[in-house]
Chains A and B, each alone.
Chain A
Amino acid sequence: GAVVSQHPSRVICKSGTSVKIECRSLDFQATTMFWYRQFPKQSLMLMATSNEGSKATYEQGVEKDKFLINHASLTLSTLTVTSAHPEDSSFYICSARSPGQTIYGYTFGSGTRLTVV
């Protein structure tokens, strides 16, 4: 089945630095990928929809200048947290929609635990 690889699984960075998280679809091409943020013991909040070859669509309240999304190829989307602060610490999960699926073909990455110190 479809596999989505997300790296790194854990990252610790200093306040003020930037961190890049990669999301790759390993055995299929994903024209659309999704980035979620999950706070402890809470649900997944959709941050943005990443479209290959075009600008990402951000959800209301998400700072597009802080969370830079690039979807340069059909198998790779990246999320860069710029000038990270402790409040950006969270679990970030990407998801890709399987080819030909619209309703339920979402495959999730294993997530990235970001800690900003």
Chain B
Amino acid sequence: AQSVTQLDSQVPVFEEAPVELRCNYSSSVSVYLFWYVQYPNQGLQLLLKYLSGSTLVKGINGFEAEFNKSQTSFHLRKPSVHISDTAEYFCAVSVSGGSYIPTFGRGTSLIVHP
């Protein structure tokens, strides 16, 4: 079965600074990878996804992520964060040939300080 590890439970950063949220996965088969954002008391919104092709994936709100197969990682990055980026971020993985229902990591709380 697949699993997802988000290494940081909380990442504080100052506004306009760059940020990286780390995600590692485990799977014995090909994977599809996702990052979702959750604002307080709301559902999840898809930020970006990797299905195949280019390993650098660009998403909404200026976020991007890079798929590294050798390191089984899919880290999320943004070169300059805003206060409004403060939220919970979830990495998720689904595997090919299965139900495609995503498995989520524990989440990383991004806190942007002024």
Question: Do B45 and A42 touch (CB < 8 A)?
Answer: no
- B109 — which chain A residues lie within 8 A by C-beta? 41
What are 12 residue pairs bridging A and B, where the CB atoms are less than 8 Å apart in the complex?
Answer: A6-B43, A9-B41, A10-B41, A43-B107, A91-B41, A95-B44, A102-B100, A103-B100, A106-B46, A108-B36, A108-B44, A111-B41
Tell me if A49 counts as interface (CB < 8 A to partner B): yes
Question: Do B44 and A93 touch (CB < 8 A)?
Answer: yes
A side interface size, CB within 8 A: 23
Q: How many angstroms between the C-alpha atoms of A106 and B41 in the bound complex?
A: 18
Q: A93-B43, A104-B49, A111-B43 are in contact. Are A43 and B102 (CB under 8 A)?
A: no
Q: Which residues of B contact A (CB under 8 A)?
A: 9, 32, 34, 36, 41-46, 49, 51, 90, 94, 99-102, 104-107, 109
Q: Which residue of A lies closest to B49 (CB)?
A: A104
- B36 — which chain A residues lie within 8 A by C-beta? 108
Tell me if A34 counts as interface (CB < 8 A to partner B): yes
Q: How many angstroms between the C-alpha atoms of A92 and B82 in the bound complex?
A: 28
Q: How many angstroms between the C-alpha atoms of A109 and B100 in the bound complex?
A: 19
Nearest Cβ in chain A — how far from B12, in angstroms? 15
Question: Do B101 and A44 touch (CB < 8 A)?
Answer: no
Question: Do A103 and B51 touch (CB < 8 A)?
Answer: yes
Nearest Cβ in chain A — how far from B23, in angstroms? 12
Q: How many angstroms between the C-alpha atoms of A113 and B40 in the bound complex?
A: 11
- A106 — which chain B residues lie within 8 A by C-beta? 46, 102
Question: Do B43 and A42 touch (CB < 8 A)?
Answer: no
Tell me if A56 counts as interface (CB < 8 A to partner B): no
Question: Do B32 and A103 touch (CB < 8 A)?
Answer: yes
